Amino acid sequence: MPMVTVAILTVSDSAVAGTREDLSGPALHARCGELGWQVVERAVVADEEPAIYETIIRWADSQAATLILTTGGTGVARRDVTPEATIRAVEREIPGMAELMRLEGRAQTKFSILSRAVVGSRGSSLVVNLPGSPQGAVFSLDLIAGHIPHVIDLLGGRTDH
């Protein structure tokens, strides 16, 4: 099983402004540790497509992490632009993972169907958009966590099964 190295990007105008504490980034950090994954990068950016895009590109292209998790900005509000930035950044989408999070997320909230989360790959990095709430982010990650090491193996060229 590959070592999963993780970069966590919190997308939140209020966290950047200092009017709200980032709770999702730390919750994901803790969950990744419980899964035996190593968090190597963390950042917080405003809901601005260029900032989100540039951070994903920088982390993926530098091979800083095999897994890039974003939290926040996946809904339908005007400032929710994380999916647009992610679509621009990834080379290939992996729609089944996002579909699973939306479908199974209904067990937690009826609003999961409003998520526009994207999952895809850039180089050897897997990029996953997660909800902005700490509970939703961890719940959604847990839904796909069992598939992540396999995807990272495949992206890293390890295709012998």
* pLDDT at position 1: 63
* pLDDT at position 77: 95
Q: Confidence class of residue 42 from pLDDT cuts 50, 70 and 90?
A: very high
On the question of pLDDT at 161 being above 70, the answer is no
From start to end of the chain, where are the E strands?
Answer: 5-11, 38-45, 67-71, 92-93, 119-122, 125-130
Q: Quick one: DSSP state of residue 37?
A: P
CB burial class (10 A; 0-12, 13-18, 19+) of residue 74?
Answer: buried
Asked whether 137 and 71 are in contact (CB, 8 A), the reply is yes
Domain ranges of the chain: 5-155
On the question of pLDDT at 3 being above 90, the answer is no
Q: Which CATH number fits domain 5-155: 3.30.70.100, 3.40.980.10, 3.40.50.620, 3.40.640.10?
A: 3.40.980.10
Q: Confidence class of residue 153 from pLDDT cuts 50, 70 and 90?
A: very high
pLDDT in tens, 4-17: 999 999 999 999 99
Residue 45, token pair as written in the block? 């950016």
